[in-house]
Amino acid sequence: MTFPTDWEAEKMAVMDGQSGHEAALDAFAEAANSAGDVRGTERMWQQMLRVFVSNKLAVASLVYVVAIVLFCFVGPFFYHSNQTDASASIFNVNLPPQKGFPLGTDYLGFDILGRLMFAGQSSLELGFLAAMISLVVGVGYGVFSGYVGGWIDSLLMRFVDVMLSIPGLFLLLATISLFGRSKVLLILVLGFTGWFGDARLLRGEAIALRDREFAQAVRAMGGGSGRIIWRHILPNTVSTMMTVSTFALAGSILALTSLGFLGLGIPLPETDWGAMIQFGSDNFQIGCWWQVYPVCGLFLVLIVSFNYIGDAMRDMFEVRLRER
Amino acid sequence: MMIGYFFRRILQGIGVLIGVSFMTFLLPSLMGGNIARVVLGPHATTQALKEFLHSHGLDLPFYLQYYHYMLNLFHGNLGYSTNPGTLDVSVWTVIYPYLPRTLWLVIISLLFSTIISIVIGLFQGIKRNSFFDHSMTFLIFLLFSFPAFLFSLVTIIVFSLTLHWFPPSIDQPTANSFFSPLVQMWNYPGQFALPLTTLTVLGIGGLTRFMRGSILETMVQDYVRTARAKGCSPNRVLFRHAFRNAVLPVITILGLSLPALFGGALITERIFNYPGMGQLTVASTNVRDVPVVMGLTLMVTVATVLGNLFADIGIAIADPRIRLTGKR
């Protein structure tokens, strides 16, 4: 499979434009970009997919992440265990792995295997929602700042500089000390303290894109700023956004787990992996290894997997950038 | 020219600090009157709440509050603790003993990670694509994704609880002077071995990667080729011509790794039960002692900004190109 040459791509773009495949304005602007190929897009995706699939570790990582998500959210339908009634579990405290408790029980007597799913649900949910918030805020802020430019841009970016110079964990704790912690508050706090780096990255992209030929073409034909941002700048930053969101997901799950480990995560009766690791490590000295190894292993491989996927994604999109 | 560059750079640092102090002022005021509720508890009467707000100047208009806050800040007054244990003690008195402990932990580990990553990165760069290069890249990637608390946990389990080489925690410090943490480290290196290792490893990942790239970039420069062409020995080319130029950019990255290091120190202190800024921050967050947490956040940011400033000034002294063009 070969990537179409510039000439072919241009021809295809023009042909598609004539067949009325897109609004004439956008098609023409894309044609002006000369590599913005409408039919070539499909091939480009195939090619990027091939680059990703050729990275065996990344594929394994993706499989692992999907498996963990299924384990946490579908697992409880097949594996029933008591995770909320502390008065019933009190007789099973700190049991080693045995029949009925394949991975033993924790300091409250809850079954560890079920606990992994139960804690994983909140860790993944909160991590995902927080990452989405930080992505939306970061992309919006960065693209707006870069597109507008001038003194507004300078002002907005100085704010990002200020926030980035505060060590992240301290900022998190400062916000938690103010607002307290509940599930919703943790999502908001994690989401609204994690977007500064993303904003800086996306601002750079927006600056690079706002004066490209296709944006100028839209402007020349009377298209407004909203159209340029929404139809032309944002679609062109999809690759950055996907890479950023992978790392954001890993980052927010990691931050949440760190908080849980510090005893500042989701309050009981709910729990997260960080709290499991903390209480497990307290009990490790009295020999409860089963409270530490499974959750640490599961979590560590998850974080490494996210990093691999992020790296592979960057490689994958670099192919596209190179071809452009 | 040089003075001008320093002046600009220092002004920039001061600007960031003013911004941060504004944030540490703004965040608590976002809560408005709720802060009285947090301090006095849910059963406080309306009268008591009002009196609290009035006595702390929280019923004044926004700009006046900010004016008082900044005035106090310039007098070294960060406010007063609301923790029942240290109620109304000035924040500075509460946090001062904790500052040098974390600071030295971070400085020493930064020193170690700089040396180690420069050496590893150098050899990776020279022996590019060798077995050493690939295995190091993989190892560093692995260490890079290791969260600080998991790494500390693993080192404790392996070296402390299983092999019994090092104690799993640090003795409580007895002295509070600026250099006493350093003395304690010198006297009990075994206790500090694991926490320092954790923080060092935390810093190594990014630095090594950067050093490797830097040396690869330098080795293809014209002046390196010239040095080779005129017959310098490979070692001389490497250490006289390439090394110094390759190391310089690493200094700038040093400053940038500070925020992550302070975050790592927070977790490491907690695990090894070392009463530094991180321990205090966690404890104060638990009891919602907002003024102390804000004071600590401000202090840790001041340290970060100063670190970056020193790094930039250091590199400008070493590399004239930077102070002449004013760009990194």
**Spans of all domains in chain B:** 1-98+290-328, 100-275
Residue A23: predicted pLDDT: 44
A177–B293 CB contact, under 8 Å: yes
Residues of B in contact with A304 (CB under 8 A): 142, 145
Which distant-in-sequence residues (6+ apart) come within 8 Å of A9 by Cβ? A34, A35, A37, A40
Q: Does B138 touch chain A (CB under 8 A)?
A: no
Q: Does B82 touch chain A (CB under 8 A)?
A: no
Are A112 and A147 spatial neighbours (Cβ–Cβ below 8 Å)? Answer: no
pLDDT value at A24 more than 70? no
Q: Does A303 touch chain B (CB under 8 A)?
A: yes
Q: In degrees rounded to 5, what are phi and psi of residue B129?
A: 60, 15
* Amino acid at residue number B199: L
**A30 against A109, higher pLDDT:** A109
Q: In terms of CA atoms, which chain A residue is nearest residue B149?
A: A258
Are B296 and B280 spatial neighbours (Cβ–Cβ below 8 Å)? Answer: yes
**B26 against A40, higher pLDDT:** B26
Q: Which of A187, A61, A69 is nearest to A136 (CA)?
A: A187
Q: Would you call A289 exposed, middle or buried from its count of C-beta atoms within 10 A (0-12, 13-18, 19+)?
A: middle
pLDDT value at B178 more than 80? no
Q: In terms of CA atoms, which chain B residue is nearest residue A155?
A: B19
Size of interface A-B (CB pairs under 8 A): 123
pLDDT value at A250 more than 80? yes
Residue B150: predicted pLDDT: 85
pLDDT digits (tens, 9 = 90+) for B183-224: 777 877 777 888 888 888 888 877 888 888 888 888 778 888
Q: Would you call A180 exposed, middle or buried from its count of C-beta atoms within 10 A (0-12, 13-18, 19+)?
A: middle
Tell me what percent of chain B is helix, strand and coil, each rounded to the nearest 5. 80, 0, 20
Q: In chain A, how many domains are there? A: 1
Q: What is the CA radius of gyration of chain B?
A: 24
**A80 against A323, higher pLDDT:** A80
Residue A288 domain-assigned?
A: yes
Helices within A211-292 (DSSP H only): 213-220, 225-227, 234-236, 238-261, 273-284
- Chain B, 266 to 305: residues with Cβ < 8 Å from chain A are 266-267, 270, 281-282, 284-286, 288-290, 293-294, 296-297, 300-301, 304-305
For B29-36, the CB contacts below 8 A with 24+ separation are B29/B58, B29/B62, B29/B65, B30/A178, B31/A178, B31/A179, B31/B290, B33/B58, B35/B290
B282–A173 CB contact, under 8 Å: yes
Nearest-by-Cβ selection for B161 from A169, A175, A284: A284
pLDDT above 90 covers a percentage of chain A that reads 6
Cα–Cα distance, B295 to B301 (Å, whole number)? 10
Measured at the CA of B162, the angle between CA B157 and CA B167, to 5 degrees, comes to 70
Residue B31: predicted pLDDT: 66
Cα–Cα distance, A44 to A39 (Å, whole number)? 9
Residues of B in contact with A166 (CB under 8 A): 20, 23, 259, 297, 300-301, 304
Helix axes B243-256, B290-318, angle to 10 degrees: 160
A173–B19 CB contact, under 8 Å: no
Residue A152 domain-assigned?
A: yes
Mean pLDDT of the A212-221 span: 83
Cα–Cα distance, B125 to B253 (Å, whole number)? 18
Q: Does A6 touch chain B (CB under 8 A)?
A: no
Question: What range does the domain containing A244 cover?
Answer: 101-323
Cα–Cα distance, B49 to A141 (Å, whole number)? 38
Residue A226, Cβ neighbours under 10 Å: how many?
Answer: 8
Q: Which of B287, B305, B304, B301 is nearest to B94 (CA)?
A: B287
Query: For residue B322, what pLDDT band results from cuts at 50, 70 and 90?
Result: low
pLDDT above 70 covers a percentage of chain A that reads 83
Hey, is A100 helix, strand or coil?
A: coil
Cα–Cα distance, B328 to B321 (Å, whole number)? 9
Are B58 and B36 spatial neighbours (Cβ–Cβ below 8 Å)? Answer: yes
Residue B32: predicted pLDDT: 57
Q: In terms of CA atoms, which chain B residue is nearest residue A164?
A: B259
Cα–Cα distance, A70 to A64 (Å, whole number)? 10
Max avg pLDDT among A124-138, A225-239, B52-66, B191-205: A124-138
B20–A179 CB contact, under 8 Å: no
Length of chain B: 328
Tokens 């139809």, residue located = A231
Q: Does A160 touch chain B (CB under 8 A)?
A: no
8-state DSSP, A84:
S
Which distant-in-sequence residues (6+ apart) come within 8 Å of B40 by Cβ? B48, B49, B52
Residues of A in contact with B294 (CB under 8 A): 174
B19–A175 CB contact, under 8 Å: no
B286–A263 CB contact, under 8 Å: yes
Residue B281, Cβ neighbours under 10 Å: how many?
Answer: 30
**B53 against B326, higher pLDDT:** B53
Query: CA of A173 to nearest chain B CA: how many angstroms apart?
Result: 6
Nearest-by-Cβ selection for A173 from B31, B281, B304: B281
A300–B150 CB contact, under 8 Å: yes
- Chain B, 29 to 48: residues with Cβ < 8 Å from chain A are 30-31
Residues of A in contact with B299 (CB under 8 A): none
Predicted model pTM = 0.81
Residues of A in contact with B141 (CB under 8 A): 307
Which distant-in-sequence residues (6+ apart) come within 8 Å of A302 by Cβ? A64, A65, A68, A253
Domain CATH for A215: 1.10.3720.10
Mean pLDDT of the A143-163 span: 87
Mean pLDDT of the B6-10 span: 82
Q: Does B199 touch chain A (CB under 8 A)?
A: no
Residue A324: predicted pLDDT: 43
Query: For residue A27, what pLDDT band results from cuts at 50, 70 and 90?
Result: very low
Which distant-in-sequence residues (6+ apart) come within 8 Å of A51 by Cβ? A312, A315, A316, A319
Residue A20: predicted pLDDT: 36
- Distances in Å between the Cα of B267 and the Cα atoms of A106, A297, B140, B152, B197 are 23, 19, 20, 9, 13
pLDDT value at A22 more than 70? no
Half-sphere exposure of residue A126: CA atoms within 13 angstroms, side-chain side: 31
Find the range with the poorest average confidence among B18-22, B48-52, B289-293.
B48-52
pLDDT digits (tens, 9 = 90+) for B244-268: 788 887 877 787 788 888 888 888 8
Q: Which of B80, B94, B22, B72 is nearest to B277 (CA)?
A: B94
- Chain B, 140 to 179: residues with Cβ < 8 Å from chain A are 141-142, 144-150, 153-154, 156-157, 161
Query: For residue A204, what pLDDT band results from cuts at 50, 70 and 90?
Result: confident
Mean pLDDT of the B5-20 span: 84
Residue A59 domain-assigned?
A: no
Mean pLDDT of the B154-161 span: 83
Q: Does B134 touch chain A (CB under 8 A)?
A: no
pLDDT digits (tens, 9 = 90+) for A158-200: 888 888 888 888 888 888 888 877 888 888 888 888 888 888 8
Residue A298 domain-assigned?
A: yes
pLDDT value at B4 more than 60? yes
Tokens 């303290």, residue located = A193
Q: Does B97 touch chain A (CB under 8 A)?
A: no
A296–B15 CB contact, under 8 Å: no
Helices within B146-188 (DSSP H only): 148-155, 180-187
Residue A55 domain-assigned?
A: no
Q: Name the token pair of B324.
A: 């002449």
* Amino acid at residue number B237: V
Q: Would you call B216 exposed, middle or buried from its count of C-beta atoms within 10 A (0-12, 13-18, 19+)?
A: middle
Residue A17 domain-assigned?
A: no
pLDDT digits (tens, 9 = 90+) for A65-121: 999 999 888 888 888 777 777 776 677 777 777 777 777 777 777 888 888 888 888
Nearest-by-Cβ selection for B300 from A161, A170, A292: A170
Q: Which of B27, B269, B285 to mutate to test the interface with A (most CBs of A within 10 A)?
A: B285
Provide the CATH number for the domain formed by B100-275 in this structure. 1.10.3720.10
B293–A277 CB contact, under 8 Å: no
pLDDT above 70 covers a percentage of chain B that reads 91
Q: Name the token pair of B250.
A: 């690493």
